[in-house]
Structure 1
Amino acid sequence: MPESPTLLCWRAPCVALDLAIDASAPVAITSIRPAGAPAPDARLAAQPLVEMTALGHGRFPGSFRRVDTVIGAELRHVSHDQSVDGPWHTLRVVQADPSRGVRATSVFEAHESAPAVRTWTEIEVAGDLVIDAVTSVAIGSFLDDAGVESVDDIVVARADNDWIAENRWRVEPLREAGLIDVDRAAHNHQAPRTRLALGNRGSWSSGEQVPAGAPAATDASYALAWQVEHNGPWTAEIGETGRGAYLALTGPTDQEHQWSVRLRDGGSFRTVPVSLAVAAGGLDDALRVLARQRRAIRLPRPADESLPVVFNDYMNTLMGDPTTEKLLPLIDAAAEAGADIFCIDAGWYADGSWWDGVGEWLPSATRFPGGIAEVTGRIRERGMVPGLWLEPEVIGVRSPLATTLPDGAFFQRAGVRIAEHGRHLLDLRHPAARAHLDAVVDRLVNEYGVGFIKMDENTMTGPGSDLYGLAPGQGLLEHARALLEWLDGVQERHPELIIEACASGAMRMDYAMLSRLHVQSTSDQQNPIRYATIAAAAPAAILPEQAGNWAYPQAGMSDELRTFCLVNGVLGRMYLSGYLNRMTPQEVAAVREAIAAHRVVLGDIRDRLPVWPLGLPAWDADWTCLGLHSGDHAYVSVWRRAGDAAAGLRLPWAAGRDVEVAPLFPADAGGWAWSWDAETAVLTVTAPTVEPSARVLEIRAV
């Protein structure tokens, strides 16, 4: 009889990971759960830990899915080792397929602060192999961990993403999301080939979907949240097998992204990292664990500690048309309101139309007759730090640099330089491209005194570059990694420089970028009523202390609309705009009050976790809500856009206790009212008007 598999039980302070090791089968994860949680009774999850295809070595049976790979099925355990380095616990599991000369190492890292792991796969090839897909992780244990028998008992959370329509989260049964019940019994219990496939293409890692999600038990007893930490294309796939179900996470693949890489004679490849976060609870619990994991993997700098309030002249204000005359009164007004940074957005480098002429990043003498130093000097005089908008990765087709930089500094396909939306795309693998960008940033910091850069990316790369004979997807992957290395170098040279991540709003919202950068623009949405759901949903995808939510009040707004607009920015990182210089003293006072409330929240925002008392926000919901919770206390933003006059907020952390509720912003409740039911743990809030209205409440259980 064959020997039973043994369990490798790896323990970190907050997470338990069990893997089956079998001489006749590949290594498989059989459980991932919070430390101290009981192990599942069933151990049926035999999904191979690593799935990999290569030219000549595909899947059996064939399908579009990332599993059932021939190489993945032939991998066998070779060795494993564990280590500890400060707060990080590491497990390395080595497998091999000797017949194909493949060696696969799965690396797991767990920080002492979160029930989560960060993981990736390292491939070495002894012979000659063209790899066209390899998983960062494949896991089939979540049915067993949830204690359910089939995907009938699983729901899934995922989010669509698009320009001005970011973070559209939805939760639905996995059967409705794509895993159709095909009556396996009628087909001899063969596994169906359907799948729920998520992903993005090109350099916009969140251009179509947020690189995060979670399957969870319908009874809220277990949830497994995931995120892909890559500033480029990725896939996430949930499918059903004869053994149960699986989740497979990858970076680029040939099938989806024209990616492949040839490895010869000891050549190696490392997949993009991903994180898995687990909770013995529901989806909200797992998303909160994912927030703890994001804090663990961040690389903070001293400059991140200040959490400054940024005024940016763009949104619903100058809209890319700055001049000295327009900026000076805005600077004075932003300083009076209490901003810490004043960022001059797009247009500062061009006399007129500029979209397809960018690249040199030199101030316009027409816009700034006295030089840009007159404007940046005024910013500093008013006690703020100057900032500038920059789109470093593009060169306009009309820019002089389009002819002076070498062809190798640009993305190419078949020897032709790529042009998209009037721009060429810099390839940061090339030293001339990096040298150009280093010179630009050094000039902005050293000559103009810039301490903040809004780093935008409005032009997608497409599949990538085939320069150097590589598959386009591999060219893009190498560029994406070179971009991260370039950012690391910039921050090493300029440790006080704060960089905001932006790509047409939030089209590159991932934790390859956000592990390094300070704040993320959450949208370009110009309608404050629409922005409410974006602001409320953002902390499901990014940390609240990185969620740059626009607040752009205008002179003449009604009191309720102005308040609604400002509430959007309070429970995150307020990104202030609007013609503050045109406001009455009463209107300016409201802005100052919002900033003061925001600074109260910033006092311990990095210790708080997001909660959604009305559930993850639906795009068209009449009411939406976000809370930042810690212990017995929460700050809660509530937006009423339409519909019923009242809504019930679920606050399970205060169940059975009295609560104290007070308005944080505005300090005057303005007709809003609330009542508490300790038994059901529901706070019923009532808005006084049919006009859209919002408040920030401070809630304490006593």
Structure 2
Amino acid sequence: MIEVGGNGRLWLLSGVRSGYALRLTEDDELLHLHWGPRITVEDAQALAAEKIPAARGFESPLDGREEYPVEGGPRFTRPALSVRADGVRGTEWAFGGWEADPEELRLRFHDRLHHLALTLHYRMRAGSDVVERRVTLTHARTRARDGVPLELLRADSAAWSLPARDGWRLSHLHGRWGAESRLVRAALTPGEQLIGSRRGHTGHAHLPWIALDAGDAGEESGEVYGCALGWSGSWRIAVQSLPDGSVQAVGGAGHDDSGLLLLAPGDSWTTPVFAGLWTEGGFGAASRAWHAWQRRHIIPAAERHRPVLYNSWEATGFRVDERQQRELAVKAAALGVELFVVDDGWFGARTHDAAGLGDWTPNPDRFPGGLRPLADEVHRLGMEFGVWVEPEMVNPDSDLYRAHPDWAQHHEGRRRTEFRNQLVLNLARDDVRAHLWERLDSLLRGAPVDYLKWDFNRSFTDAGWPGDPYPRRLWTAHVEGVYGLLDRLRAAHPHVAVEACSGGGGRVDLAMAARTDQMWTSDNTDPVDRLAIQHGFSQLHPARIMAAWVTDSPNEQMNGRFSPLGFRFVSAMAGVLGVGGDLTRWSAAELDEARRWIERYKRIRPLVQGGDLYRLRPPGDGLTAVQYVRGDESAVLAWLPAQRYGEEPPPLRLCGLDPAARYTDLDRGGTHRGAVLTHRGLRTGLSGDLAADVFHLRRITGE
């Protein structure tokens, strides 16, 4: 709901439990008024009537109060917008009007000197408290002779203003390859803290999400502000703790202020969405609100449950052929697997990682009839069929690179850096995108493919574009090229699901969530390590898109740890369950146990992938657990990595249940009273090391 007051110069957006208000001064300064619990227009007008404290020496009354601070004028906070033309930097804007529909408010401004038109977008969808913000910038001159190009040095999507508190605490997700999405919370000290990526993709080091609280919020109580950026390239979020105790956070595409793109007369560019959320229900309520918003508005076909998959990589590596894939498919189908995926090695001369990347046609020696015979057999076995691709990369030893070496990102006269024996194709180029469209479209038309695992295994290092008048735009245009290619493929092949992957969790963000069906969370499949990775991932993203695999033990890729099959399964059942082990080495007893775990997962899948998440106990050496609630059912997944001193793990106090109701355990029988489960807790009976189990509860109706 959007309401207007203050003689048409005050706006209030209201969600389910929160409100967001802003106003325009007589000098056309757009100031932030309120972000917190729901208020009325009259409340917002009272806030607007309050006198702004006089600025102390060397300070500005605008700092920390402006909705979208720009470079220029009496401002000293980090600007969200920096523009240059004819050697003149900065912006001096004037209000140009507003418009609104039921869910989106648009405020228009313009800069006379640069002929720059700016529109601030605010969107609050029905049934949600998430505020989606973005900015559209337009070179208002329509003919080239009427103006010079505008250089966008920096154009953040939004600035978020938080009120003064005695102290702020910042939460964010950090890590590296194999250790992504680890949650850290620390006091926000005076000054500025930056997180982001300089790699050309979202990156393993940080996810584009932050949360701020006054140091007193818990999992299920306390005021929490959160912000998340929907961008899959280099990015930056700057959190500024200002002298008066307030906080302002700005964020958007690009890792620095050296330039995003040129706007020629008549051109426009719209930033990615930078979304914000306020809650008074702690970090758990914040996560549940983010999850519900993504399932309802962001994730494609979120109402469809993601299938249990099998991926053949660990079983075969690059030694892929049709006969061996058929054998694995038979074993996978017997377990109850619903999607069979052939990973790297099916195409071109791809017998190792230094050749064939970019040649997306089946290897004729390994697949004499192409992929169709295998796909048909997989379908006959009752499973969907998928393949791995890495369209944005190329090996120098490939037919594609030999024909088009200029298609790879590079700087003229400089050595081309190879990581993983590969280079990055420049998807900002029209011809590169046209070629990839033709190859991928032919792949999907040539065989009944239901699923693509879209990988991205290398960061930008030589992001050059010789001959382009503004090569800096590659950093932005490559990402938009990926979006355009994915959107086109999905429109032409709506039945094909896509998994986003980047050497694990190197490209996890809201923009990829909007274009793919699930995300590969990490290459680390060790079930103990995964508990912390999945705990961090869940702060923003729902289990519906969190791919998690059961792989072989010992975990040879990461740490050599031995873990029981049951612990591995329960760890992976917290997301979209997959199996990635070498089934030819599993014993008959292991295969039978795996089949039973998959059956149990399918029974709780609607809860995991579509329910509300409660993080009951965080990861550690002791008992950790999560709970999913949907309607009258609940599923509890509990893990005990290590038992200390022979002590019984504490009962799990459950959430989201009706205290007046009774609940039956669908796996073990017996009943529990809701009041007992929520107050005293559920006893898991776990003991020893690396123990885990699942508890599926259903409310009893009637007598």
**Structures share a fold, TM > 0.5?**
yes
Contact 1:259 1:473 in 2 (8 A): yes
> How many positions carry a matched residue from both structures?
655
Matched, 1:591 2:594: yes
**Could you say which residue in structure 1 is the equivalent of 2:694?**
696
1:121 equivalent to 2:119? Answer no
Deviations 1:270-303 (A, max 9, x none): 222111122122122112111122124326259x
User: Structure 2 length normalisation: TM-score?
Assistant: 0.83
Work out whether 1:103 is the aligned partner of 2:117: yes
1:382-461 maps to which residues of 2 (within 5 A)?
Answer: 382-405=381-404, 407=406, 409-414=407-412, 418-421=416-419, 422-461=421-460
Matched, 1:285 2:285: yes
Q: Which residue of 2 aligns with 1:156?
A: 170
* Distance (Å, rounded) in 1 between the aligned partners of 2:677 and 2:374: 58
Note closer, same or farther for the CA distance 1:242–1:476 as it changes in structure 2 (3 Å cut): same
Is the 2:350–2:357 contact (alpha carbons within 8 Å) kept by the matching residues of 1?
no
Deviations 1:406-465 (A, max 9, x none): 62x332334768543122222223233123222322232222322211111101124734
Following the alignment from structure 1 to structure 2, what is the Cα–Cα distance between the partners of residues 623 and 488?
Answer: 43
* 1:518-557 → structure 2 map (5 Å cutoff): 518-552=517-551
2:611 equivalent to 1:608: yes
**How far is the alpha carbon of 1:49 from its aligned partner?**
1.5
**Shift of the alpha carbon at 1:505?**
1.0
Residues 523, 387 of structure 1: alpha-carbon distance in 2 compared, 3 angstrom cutoff: same
Instruction: State how far apart, in whole Å, the 2-side matches of 1:222 and 1:639 are.
Output: 29
In structure 2, relative to structure 1, the CA distance for the partners of 1:253 and 1:26 (3 Å cut) is farther
* C-alpha spacing 1:23/1:464, structure 2 compared with 1 (3 Å): farther
Segment drifting more, 623-632 vs 653-662:
653-662
1:212 to 204, 209, 212: 209
| 2:298–2:514 contact (8 Å) kept in structure 1 | yes
Specify whether residues 351 and 169 from structure 1 end up closer, same or farther in structure 2 by C-alpha distance, changes over 3 A only. closer
Give the deviation of 1:171 after TM superposition.
2.6
1:82 to 83, 97, 100: 100
Amino acid at match of 1:132: L
After TM superposition, give the deviation of residue 404 of structure 1 in Å: 1.2
Give the whole-Å Cα distance in 1 for the aligned partners of 2:627 and 2:383.
30
* Residue 47 of structure 1: aligned partner: 65
Q: Any idea what the Cα deviations from partners look like across 1:369-393, whole Å, max 9, x if unmatched?
A: 6765443343223122221111111
Q: Distance in 2 between matches of 1:653 and 1:603?
A: 16
2:246 is paired with a residue of what secondary structure?
A: strand
CA distance change for structure 1 residues 97 and 362 in 2, over 3 Å: closer, same or farther?
Answer: closer
My pick for the range that moved more, 94-103 or 636-645, is: 94-103
Letter in 1 for 2:157: S
Q: How far apart in 1 are the matches of 2:255 and 2:505?
A: 26
- Distance in structure 2 (CA, Å) of the matches to 1:674 and 1:525: 37
Task: Please give the alpha-carbon distance, in whole angstroms, between the structure 1 residues aligned to 2:244 and 2:110.
Answer: 23
Counterparts of 1:328 and 1:430, CA distance in 2: 39
CA contact (8 A) 2:91 2:111 kept: no
Which residue is equivalent to 2:60? none
Alpha-carbon offset, residue 621 of structure 1: 4.7
User: Using the alignment, how far apart are the partners of 2:414 and 2:296 within structure 1?
Assistant: 42
Counterpart of 1:662 in structure 2 is: 665
Post-superposition offset of 1:592? 1.7
What CA distance in whole angstroms lies between the structure 2 residues aligned with 1:134 and 1:323?
49
Aligned to 2:378: 379
Q: What's the offset of the Cα at 1:579?
A: 2.8
Q: 1:610 to 1:37 in 2, by over 3 A?
A: farther
Aligned equivalents of 1:266, 1:532: Cα separation in 2: 50
Query: What pairs with 1:180-219 in structure 2 (closer than 5 Å)?
Result: 180=190, 194-217=191-214, 218-219=216-217
Match of 1:131 in 2: 152
Q: CA separation in 2, counterparts of 1:376 and 1:465? A: 40
Secondary structure in 1 matching 2:203: coil
Question: C-alpha distance in 1, partners of 2:660/2:562?
Answer: 34
Indicate if the aligned counterparts of 1:632 and 1:701 stay in contact, CA closer than 8 A.
yes
Contact preservation (8 Å) 1:225, 1:290: no
Q: Which amino acid aligns with 2:273?
A: P
Q: Secondary structure at the match of 1:357?
A: coil
The 3 A distance-change label for structure 1 pair 32 and 325 is same
Give the TM-score normalised by the residue count of structure 1.
Answer: 0.83
Q: 2:30 and 2:541 mapped to 1: Cα distance?
A: 32
In 1, Cα distance between the equivalents of 2:291 and 2:205? Answer: 22
Query: Are the equivalent residues in 2 in contact too, given 1:167–1:541 (CA < 8 A)?
Result: no
Alpha-carbon distance in 1 for matches of 2:9, 2:360: 61
Residues 546-595 of structure 1: per-residue CA shift (max 9 Å, x gap) = 11111225699999711111112223211112233443443223212222
Question: Which position in structure 2 is the counterpart of 1:637?
Answer: 637
Q: Please state if 1:628 is matched with 2:631.
A: no
**Preserved CA contact (<8 Å) 2:607 2:630:** no
> Residue 420 of structure 1: SS of its match in structure 2?
coil
Corresponding residue SS for 1:8: strand
Q: In the alignment, which residue of structure 1 is the partner of 2:55?
A: none
One-letter amino acid of the structure 2 residue matched with residue 293 of structure 1: W
Distance 1:553 1:658, change over 3 A: farther
Instruction: Report the AA paired with residue 150 of structure 1.
Output: R
User: Which runs of structure 2 are paired with 1:211-230 in the superposition (5 Å)?
Assistant: 211-217=208-214, 218-219=216-217, 220-230=221-231
| Distance change in 2, residues 1:46/1:114 (3 Å) | same
Q: Quote the Cα distance in structure 1 between the aligned partners of 2:279 and 2:265.
A: 42
Report whether the alignment pairs 1:22 with 2:43: no
- Contact 1:15 1:114 (C-alpha < 8 Å) held by counterparts: no
Deviations 1:1-48 (A, max 9, x none): xx9996322345665220021123621222233546996886779522
Cα 1:118–1:417 shift into 2, 3 Å: farther
Secondary structure of the corresponding residue to residue 412 of structure 1: coil
Where do 5+ consecutive residues of structure 1 fail to align?
A: 144-148, 181-193
| Whole-angstrom distance in 2 between the partners of 1:690 and 1:344 | 37
1:353-384 deviations in Å (ceiling 9; x for gaps): 23343111232344446765443343223122
Any conservation in 2 of the 1:116–1:293 contact (CA below 8 Å)? yes
**Residues 1:306 and 1:6: Cα distance change in structure 2 (over 3 Å):** closer
User: Quick one: structure 1 residues 247 and 46, their matched pair in 2 at CA, closer, same or farther if it must change by over 3 Å?
Assistant: closer
Q: 1:221 to 1:414 in 2, by over 3 A?
A: same
- 2:144 equivalent in structure 1: none
Deviations 1:675-699 (A, max 9, x none): 9984973525455432211112224
Code of the aligned partner of 2:457: N
- In the alignment, the residues of structure 2 paired with residue 355 and residue 443 of structure 1 have an alpha-carbon distance, to the nearest angstrom, of 24
CA contact (8 A) 1:205 1:510 kept: yes
Matched AA of 2:498: I
8 Å CA contact 1:420–1:460 kept in 2: the answer is no
| 2:686/2:692 contact within 8 Å kept | no
Contact 2:454 2:501 survives alignment (8 Å): yes
C-alpha displacement of 1:397: 0.9
Cα contact 1:138–1:246 (8 A) shared by 2:
no
Could you say what the CA RMSD is over the residues aligned between the two structures, in angstroms? 3.6
**What secondary structure is seen at the aligned counterpart in 1 of 2:473?**
helix
Judged with a 3 Å threshold, the aligned counterparts in structure 2 of structure 1 residues 115 and 602 are, in CA distance, closer, same or farther, namely: same
Matched, 1:326 2:347: no
- Deviations 1:219-256 (CA, angstroms, capped at 9, x unpaired): 44322221110111111122122444333333234636
Q: Deviations over 1:491-539 (max 9, x none)?
A: 1111111111111011101121110111111111142222233234433
1:611·1:627 contact (CA, 8 Å) conserved in 2? yes
- Distance in 1, Cα, partners of 2:91 & 2:510: 31
